Amino acid sequence: MVEAKRPRLCVLGSGKGSNYLAINEAIETGVLHAEIVLVLSDVQNSGILQHAQRLGHKALYLYPGPKRTVLDKAQELQYVDVIKQSAADLVILAGFMRVLKSGFLREFPNRVLNIHPSLLPNFRGLRAWEQALKAGVNETGCTVHVVTEELDAGPIVLQATVPVLPDDTAESLHARIQKQEHNIYPKAIEMYWKQLNQAAEPNRCD
């Protein structure tokens, strides 16, 4: 049996880049068999871009447009074009704080993954750990899922549970969830790529 090729990853992020760092570490230690070919951010001088530059990955800021939560149509086309030029196989959202619309997703069908800080389908949307605390649940967690047009509703790839402790604050709970995110995201990428290869010969995003 011919070994499947390593996927080329384009990582999109808006913040500190902790999940990007976890993915890169998993690649360096052999947990994840992949290659990061591009890091994109909608925030100038974001932590993720600074980390990518330090680690020697191609790192670009792309203007997202004036809207706070989505990419403008022209900017969406620019993001798509740059990703296609990178010949990425998978688009990995690592704290990318904009909703990707159908125009973007059609260009990379079933090739965009996201990690969400709850056990989906519970607590979709922003600041899910605060939603969990307010709801008074005993456990929450994180979910890697395929991105679809419906927010936080795509097929689930992998989940991890995190207990909600009696003395938890939003900050302490979020920190424990992030530790699990860093653990499962690389594993989920590896798992999902194998699933794609088992289903059919993969086609690159180019």
- Among residues 81, 18, 33, 21, which one has the least CA distance to residue 193? 33
CB 158 within 8 A of CB 110: no
Residue 63 in tokens: 């203007």
Residue with tokens 């990428």: 189
Residue 73's φ and ψ, nearest 5 degrees, are -60, -45
- Among residues 25, 23, 29, 18, which one has the least CA distance to residue 7? 23
Residue 33's alpha-carbon distances to 48, 110, 148, 193, in angstroms, are 21, 19, 25, 10
189: how many CB neighbours lie within 10 A of its CB? Answer: 26
* Three-class SS state of 38: strand
* Three-class SS state of 26: helix
As a whole number of angstroms, the distance between CA 165 and CA 173 comes to: 8
Residue 66 in tokens: 């004036």
Please identify which of the residues 51, 57, 116, 182 carries the catalytic annotation: 116
Would residue 116 show up in a list of annotated catalytic residues for this protein? yes
Catalytic residues: 116
